[in-house]
Amino acid sequence: MGINVIKPGMLTTVQDLGRFGFQKYGMITSGAMDKLALRLGNLLLGNEEDTPALECTSIGPSLLFLEQQLICVTGADLSPAIDQQPIPMWKPVVVPAGALLTFGKPKKGWRAYLCFYGGLNVPKVLGSASTYLRGAIGGWQGRALQKGDQLSFCKAWPQESSSFKWRMASSCYRGLDNKIIRVIAGPQHALFDSDSQQRLTAGLFTISSNSDRMGYRLESAKLYLREKKELLSSATTFGTIQVPPDGQPIVLMADHPTTGGYPIIAQVATVDLPLMAQLPPGAKIQFALITMKEAQSLWRAQENELHKLKLSLALKYGE
C-alpha cells in the first residue's frame, strides 16, 4: 500500500527538518531546503511540523496512490494535478485510491513539498528521515526516488471523503516574486575591499546552473579580499555566503559541509532561506544588509504568525 513511483521527477527526496546534533562529527544536516513550506504543509494536515515528506525539484514525480490519502502541496507551484485535474496548493486534498498524482509545468519557485497525512514511513537515521544524497544516508534508501519504488504511509486517512472549505492565510508564506534576500554581515565582511563590500548590496547576482542542495554558486561582479589571506577551516551553516579565491560567492544550502575555509562575507537571514531555496537557476537577486537583531525579530514575527495558524488549525482538526 502507499504510493508507487511511476515517474521519479528530476530530484525527489524524502526530507524532514534535518539531522541535528551530529555536526561535530562532520555529519551534514540535510533536511528540506524550504523548511517553512514543509512545516506549513505538515501543519495544514494536522501533522507534527517535522513529519517526513517529499521534496520535489522543478519537475515533480508521478505517483500512483494505492490507497486513499490526505495530502497537501506547498512551496513551488509545479502544477500539481490528480487524474489530470489541477488541485489547489496550501490546503488539504483527498486523493482517492487508484488516482494518479502528477506535476506539470513549473510555474513559480523550484521546490514543491508533498506532505502526507501522518507522513511517509521511512526509518530514522541519527534522529532524522532526511536524505543526504552524497553520503547515501537516510530518507528512502539514501537516494532520490526511482521508478518502481513503493513507499508506505504511517497512517491511513480514515474518512470516506472530506472537503476542506478553508485554506491558509497568505501572510504565513512570502510571495516568491520577491528577489531581495536579506543578509547579515559575515565574520570576514570587513576583510573584503570596499568596492566588494559595496557590490554585495548594489550588484545583481545570478543563480548559476551549477547549483544544488549543497550550495548555490552565484555569478556576479567578483568579490575580493583587501589582501590575500589563508583562513583556518571553521564551522559554516545554512545560508553562509563564502567567497573562494575566484571571487564568485557560493551560498551554502541544506546539504552544506559542516566546515569550510573560505572567507564568509555574509549570511542569509533565516527568514529568507525559504525564498533562496525556491530560486531557479538563472534567477537574479539582490542582497540587502540587515542587522542580526533585525533578522531575529523578523524570525520571531514569522513564528508568531505560525503560532496563530497552529491555534486555528487545532480548532479545525480538534473538533
Q: Which set of grid coordinates corresponds to residue 91?
A: 490546503
44 vs 295 by CB, closer to other proteins: 295
Q: CA 205, CA 182: separation in Å to the nearest integer?
A: 13
Q: Whole-number minimum distance, CB 240 to other proteins, in Å? A: 7
Contact residues toward other proteins (CB under 8 A) are: 20-28, 125-126, 134-138, 184, 186-187, 232-237, 239-240, 257-260, 264, 267-270, 292, 295-296, 299-300, 303
107 vs 134 by CB, closer to other proteins: 134
- Residue 74, phi then psi, degrees to nearest 5: -130, 180
308 vs 316 by CB, closer to other proteins: 308
Q: Whole-number minimum distance, CB 266 to other proteins, in Å? A: 9
Q: Which set of grid coordinates corresponds to residue 278?
A: 525556491
Q: Whole-number minimum distance, CB 163 to other proteins, in Å? A: 36
125 vs 204 by CB, closer to other proteins: 125
Cell numbers 541535528 label which residue? 20
Q: Whole-number minimum distance, CB 125 to other proteins, in Å? A: 5
Q: Whole-number minimum distance, CB 59 to other proteins, in Å? A: 26
67 vs 212 by CB, closer to other proteins: 212
Q: Where are the beta strands (DSSP E) in the chain?
A: 3-7, 12-15, 53-57, 62-65, 69-77, 80-82, 85-86, 93-95, 100-103, 108-116, 150-151, 180-185, 205-207, 215-219, 234-235, 240-242, 250-252, 259-260, 264-268, 284-289
Closest CA to 146 of 53, 255, 2, 9: 9
